């Protein structure tokens, strides 16, 4: 059968920009998937998605006008139900065949055409038929309806559409935006499908202001993007439009000179791509006096409110130039440039006003105001929360750095949340912490405290930087631990994909800081310092929270490439110092590669089972009670190797510690081959169990090696 390429376009009013790329991918993906499922397109058909502010489209290669007929075999019923004792068709069988469209005028012939085959314990009747392939019109109609139904639309709107029939009237349509036209071209042939009250044709509209033709007429499915670009002045491809914006941004920045480059922001780039049909980048500027405001404020207001691309210089400092992605290309762009410069000026003036006003009050003077801000109805105000974070930070600081660190950490923790009461953070919540750092420097506080205030939310997301100094590290740990302990203490535990308080992110932040900064405190110790500060506001113990953090750690380690066996072996011992985990994992990986590893892992598992059944066992051996050569040999080997392994463990050489134990394979094998552990004589049994207990303790310092057993 011959094939033609297919184009489907839905032309609508401006679509939600933040959802456009997903809408385009979903529309084309489901449409092609449905065509393939109906046999109208091959499994390897190439699907190209198009998405611009006012259209969703898909181009699918190699689409059939008529799907191939299919041979289908259907199970009817058990033979005992379909045929009587004489082998004739029962009424139930004839009724079933008739429903399937089979010819039952000659019942005997109809029965003869059926097949018998075993079906479980009984034999069943099967009917072979040929199902006619779907026509493109019917198949595309179904595919189009499915594609529209499955669009990830956050919210639909209802609008009225005038009906096209003999009796004029209006019908209600529900869709993300009002739709105005539909194209369905199979090669050069229009497929008259319907959707959203529209009938497909071959006409669409181009750019609102710069289209060279209206309507834009398509004569072939393969000419879509070319004709739309030429006659409609629209770049239909989201990816192509995005790449063009990047090219123009870089070119415009290069013309500014001095190493200027546009701010990197993938989300902003996607949103702007969804706002323009044919991008035209223009260079604008603002007064240099605004550069006295923290650049984070200026950058945020330009990006969030105006969708501009600020320019930064080679050293990362903000310049007074910014780039605008316009949707029009006038001969004289000065009016567009001037208009954008006038629009941004009040935004920057507001930021300067907020900054100037905020600096009239010190952070210390704002501390009292935190007691008037509710944090959580069960955990009190931000003032109460601040007091808890201070207590935790002071305790951690005392443990890891003495009085000086404890004092600085307490000061930073007391002031860390005060910028929530400033005008700037009230306008731009994304700047909390950052503004606190600026205001702390203005107040004359030390660099360590100012950086700690700025960094105490870090790491805010995967891959984010950690706090720059020890004060910031302590305060960030205290802040996240307070959140975790408090929320778990009142029962606000993440469930499924719901985590409204971002506790998973907080746990991963704690894990990263403890591991990457190798904090000399164990996780249980940290929770022991954190829980008492809540008094009677929380209930329960720390077990659920510890399990939660270790689960997050295990998941993170698997994502980093460690095997499930390696992670399970290390995490089974619940290492208190998380900074040692990566070393433990490296040691386990090296041990697992040794030829002795499988046998020792299996022996370790066996020893664990023996000791579990034995109950409480003392790791003590009386050499005088060793009778068999194999147990004497194992004891002698342990006397030689265990002290060496223990010394290596204490020195932090965990890989060498495990590799030293690998030499025990032969004596361990001989022991289990020749020695009865549970001897009848009680003294012999306890002595042999004590020998195994000593070995078990030594083998499982780094990880539970039994988890490596197949």
Does the structure show a pLDDT above 60 at 166?
no
Q: How many domains, the chain? A: 5
Same domain, 165 and 296: no
pLDDT band at 255 (very low <50, low <70, confident <90, very high): very high
Same domain, 533 and 423: yes
Judge whether 195 lies within some domain. Answer: yes
pLDDT band at 1 (very low <50, low <70, confident <90, very high): low
Judge whether 117 lies within some domain. Answer: yes
**Which of these ranges, 61-65, 100-104, 511-515, 647-651, has the smallest mean pLDDT?**
100-104
Of 115, 131, 147, which residue sits at a domain end? Answer: 131
Percent of the chain past pLDDT 90, that is, above it, reads 71
Q: How confident is the model over 479-488, as a mean pLDDT?
A: 96
Q: What dihedral angle (degrees, nearest 10) is formed by the CA atoms of 205, 208, 214, 219?
A: -30
State residue 154's pLDDT score. Answer: 74
Q: How confident is the model over 116-138, as a mean pLDDT?
A: 83
State residue 313's pLDDT score. Answer: 94
Same domain, 273 and 414: no
Q: 3-class DSSP state for residue 54?
A: coil
Phi, psi at residue 310, to the nearest 5°? Answer: -65, 150
Place of tokens 């409110």: 305
Same domain, 449 and 371: yes
pLDDT band at 568 (very low <50, low <70, confident <90, very high): very high
pLDDT band at 169 (very low <50, low <70, confident <90, very high): low
Same domain, 32 and 143: yes
Place of tokens 């549970």: 678
Q: How far apart are CA 698 and CA 692, in angstroms?
A: 10
Place of tokens 């030829």: 595
Per the structure block, which two tokens stand in for 476? Answer: 């960030």
Q: Are 60 and 47 in contact (CB under 8 A)?
A: yes
Q: What is the mean pLDDT of the chain?
A: 92
Q: Are 136 and 66 in contact (CB under 8 A)?
A: yes
Same domain, 275 and 394: no
Question: CA 666 → CA 452, 654, 669, distances in Å?
Answer: 55, 22, 5
Judge whether 89 lies within some domain. Answer: yes
Judge whether 400 lies within some domain. Answer: yes
Same domain, 673 and 639: yes
Same domain, 533 and 656: no
How many whole angstroms from its chain centre is CA 187?
Answer: 40
Same domain, 340 and 253: yes
pLDDT band at 546 (very low <50, low <70, confident <90, very high): very high
79 or 62: which leads in pLDDT: 62
Question: CA 385 → CA 307, 488, 493, distances in Å?
Answer: 36, 15, 19
| Helical residues (DSSP H) of 490-580, grouped into ranges | 503-516, 523-530, 543-559, 564-571
Q: How far apart are CA 282 and CA 325, in angstroms?
A: 6
Q: How confident is the model over 319-335, as a mean pLDDT?
A: 95
Q: ∠ CA 137-139-145 to the nearest 5 degrees? A: 100
Residue length of the chain = 710
Q: How far apart are CA 482 and CA 30, in angstroms?
A: 46
State residue 710's pLDDT score. Answer: 64
541 or 62: which leads in pLDDT: 62
Tell the burial category of 419 from Cβ atoms under 10 Å away from its Cβ (0-12, 13-18, 19+).
buried
State residue 440's pLDDT score. Answer: 97
Q: Are 52 and 235 in contact (CB under 8 A)?
A: yes
Of 358, 390, 414, which residue sits at a domain end? Answer: 358
Pairing of strands 318-326, 309-312: antiparallel
Percent of the chain past pLDDT 70, that is, above it, reads 98
Exposure pattern of 483-517 as b/e (b: 16+ CB <10 Å)? bbbbbbbbebebeeeeeeebbebbbbbbbbbbbeb
Exposure pattern of 179-217 as b/e (b: 16+ CB <10 Å)? bbbbbbbbbeeebebebbbbebbbbbbbbeebbeeebbe
Does the structure show a pLDDT above 60 at 147?
yes
State residue 551's pLDDT score. Answer: 95
Q: How far apart are CA 215 and CA 203, in angstroms?
A: 6
Q: Are 6 and 63 in contact (CB under 8 A)?
A: yes
Judge whether 449 lies within some domain. Answer: yes
Instruction: Name the β-bridge partners of 48.
Output: 59
Rg (CA), the chain: 36
Q: How confident is the model over 494-500, as a mean pLDDT?
A: 86
Residues 425-441: tens digit of each pLDDT: 999 999 999 999 999 99
Judge whether 635 lies within some domain. Answer: yes
pLDDT band at 76 (very low <50, low <70, confident <90, very high): confident
Q: Which residues contact 378 (CB under 8 A, 6 or more apart)?
A: 490, 537
Of 113, 131, 149, which residue sits at a domain end? Answer: 131
Judge whether 568 lies within some domain. Answer: no
Q: How far apart are CA 676 and CA 429, in angstroms?
A: 70
Tell the burial category of 539 from Cβ atoms under 10 Å away from its Cβ (0-12, 13-18, 19+).
exposed
Task: State yes or no: cis peptide before 215, omega within 30 of 0.
Answer: yes
Q: Which residues contact 21 (CB under 8 A, 6 or more apart)?
A: 51, 238, 270, 273, 274
Same domain, 434 and 539: yes
How many whole angstroms from its chain centre is CA 197?
Answer: 38
Q: Are 552 and 508 in contact (CB under 8 A)?
A: yes
Same domain, 77 and 61: no
Same domain, 328 and 436: no
State residue 167's pLDDT score. Answer: 53
State residue 2's pLDDT score. Answer: 80
State residue 100's pLDDT score. Answer: 80
Q: ∠ CA 408-410-412 to the nearest 5 degrees? A: 70
State residue 616's pLDDT score. Answer: 84
Q: How far apart are CA 626 and CA 635, in angstroms?
A: 9
Does the structure show a pLDDT above 70 at 411?
yes
Range of the domain at 329: 238-358
Does the structure show a pLDDT above 60 at 231?
yes
Q: How far apart are CA 63 and CA 709, in angstroms?
A: 53
Neighbour order of strands in the sheet with 280-285: 261-262, 309-312, 318-326, 280-285
Residues 592-630: tens digit of each pLDDT: 999 999 888 998 898 888 888 888 888 888 999 898 899
Question: CA 356 → CA 214, 302, 349, 361, distances in Å?
Answer: 53, 19, 10, 10
pLDDT band at 542 (very low <50, low <70, confident <90, very high): confident
Neighbour order of strands in the sheet with 55-64: 47-52, 55-64, 3-12, 179-186, 189-190
H/E run at residue 129: strand 122-131
State residue 431's pLDDT score. Answer: 96
Residue 463, domain CATH: 1.10.3210
80 or 255: which leads in pLDDT: 255
| Helical residues (DSSP H) of 359-381, grouped into ranges | 363-366
Residue from 18, 55, 358, 77 nearest 204 by CA = 55
Judge whether 567 lies within some domain. Answer: no
Q: How far apart are CA 268 and CA 246, in angstroms?
A: 12
State residue 210's pLDDT score. Answer: 93
Does the structure show a pLDDT above 60 at 270?
yes
392 or 131: which leads in pLDDT: 392
pLDDT band at 163 (very low <50, low <70, confident <90, very high): low
Q: What crossing angle do the helices spanning 629-650 and 682-699 adopt, rounded to 10°?
A: 30
């Amino acid at each position: 059968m011959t094939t033609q390429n297919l184009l489907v376009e839905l032309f609508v009013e401006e679509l939600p920009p933040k959802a456009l790329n997903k809408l385009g991918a979903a529309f084309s993906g489901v449409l092609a998937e449905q065509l393939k499922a109906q046999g109208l397109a091959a499994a390897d058909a190439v699907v190209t998605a198009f998405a611009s502010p006012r259209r969703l489209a898909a181009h699918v290669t190699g689409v059939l006008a008529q799907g191939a007929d299919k041979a289908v075999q259907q199970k009817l019923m058990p033979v005992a139900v379909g045929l009587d004792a004489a082998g004739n068709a029962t009424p139930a069988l004839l009724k079933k065949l008739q429903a399937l469209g089979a010819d039952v005028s000659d019942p005997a012939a109809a029965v003869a055409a059926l097949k018998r085959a075993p079906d479980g314990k009984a034999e069943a009747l099967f009917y072979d038929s040929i199902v006619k392939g779907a026509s493109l019109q019917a198949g595309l109609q179904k595919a189009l309806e499915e594609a529209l139904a499955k669009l990830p639309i956050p919210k639909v709107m209802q609008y009225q559409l005038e009906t096209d029939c003999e009796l004029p009237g209006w019908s209600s349509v529900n869709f993300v935006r009002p739709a105005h036209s539909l194209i369905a071209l199979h090669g050069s042939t229009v497929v008259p499908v319907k959707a959203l009250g529209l009938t497909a044709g071959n006409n669409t509209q181009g750019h609102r202001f710069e289209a060279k033709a209206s309507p834009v007429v398509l004569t072939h499915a393969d000419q879509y993007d070319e004709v739309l670009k030429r006659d409609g002045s629209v770049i239909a491809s989201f990816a192509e439009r995005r790449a063009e914006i990047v090219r123009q941004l870089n070119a415009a920045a290069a013309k500014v000179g001095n190493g200027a480059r546009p701010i990197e922001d993938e989300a902003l780039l996607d949103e702007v791509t969804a706002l323009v049909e044919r991008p035209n980048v223009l260079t604008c500027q603002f007064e240099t006096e605004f550069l006295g405001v923290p650049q984070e404020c200026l950058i945020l207001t330009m990006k969030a409110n105006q969708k501009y691309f600020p320019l930064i210089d080679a050293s990362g400092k903000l310049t007074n130039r910014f780039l605008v992605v316009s949707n029009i290309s006038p001969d004289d762009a000065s009016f567009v440039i001037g208009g954008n410069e006038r629009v941004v000026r009040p935004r920057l003036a507001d930021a300067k006003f907020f900054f100037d006003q905020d600096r009239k009050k010190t952070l210390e003077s704002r501390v009292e105001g935190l007691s008037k801000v509710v944090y959580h109805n069960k955990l009190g105000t931000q003032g109460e929360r601040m007091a808890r974070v201070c207590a935790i930070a002071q305790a951690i600081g005392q443990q890891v750095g003495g009085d000086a660190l404890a004092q600085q950490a307490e000061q930073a923790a007391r002031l860390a949340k005060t910028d929530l009461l400033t005008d700037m953070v009230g306008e731009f919540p994304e700047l909390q912490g950052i503004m606190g750092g600026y205001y702390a420097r203005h107040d004359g506080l030390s660099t360590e405290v100012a950086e700690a205030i700025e960094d105490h939310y870090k790491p805010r997301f995967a891959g984010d930087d950690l706090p720059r100094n020890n004060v910031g590290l302590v305060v960030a740990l205290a802040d996240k631990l307070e959140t975790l302990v408090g929320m778990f203490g009142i029962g606000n535990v993440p469930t499924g994909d719901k985590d409204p308080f971002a506790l998973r992110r907080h746990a991963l932040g704690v894990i990263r800081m403890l591991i990457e900064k190798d904090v000399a405190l164990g996780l249980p110790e940290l929770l022991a310092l954190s829980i008492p500060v809540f008094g009677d506001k929380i209930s329960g113990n720390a077990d659920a929270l510890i399990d939660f953090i270790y689960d997050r750690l295990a998941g993170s380690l698997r994502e980093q490439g460690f095997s499930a066996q390696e992670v399970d072996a290390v995490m089974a011992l619940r290492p208190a110092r998380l900074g040692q985990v990566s070393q433990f994992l490296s040691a386990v990986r090296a041990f697992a590669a040794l030829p002795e590893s499988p046998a020792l892992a299996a022996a370790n598992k066996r020893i664990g089972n023996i000791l579990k059944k034995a109950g409480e066992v003392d790791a003590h051996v009386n050499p005088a009670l060793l009778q068999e050569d194999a147990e004497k040999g194992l004891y002698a080997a342990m006397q030689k190797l265990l002290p060496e392994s223990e010394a290596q463990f204490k020195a932090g050489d965990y890989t060498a510690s495990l590799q030293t134990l690998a030499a025990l394979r032969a004596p361990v094998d001989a022991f289990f081959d020749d020695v009865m552990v549970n001897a009848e004589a009680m003294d012999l049994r306890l002595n042999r169990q004590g020998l195994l207990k000593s070995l078990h303790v030594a083998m499982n310092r780094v990880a539970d090696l039994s988890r490596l057993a197949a």
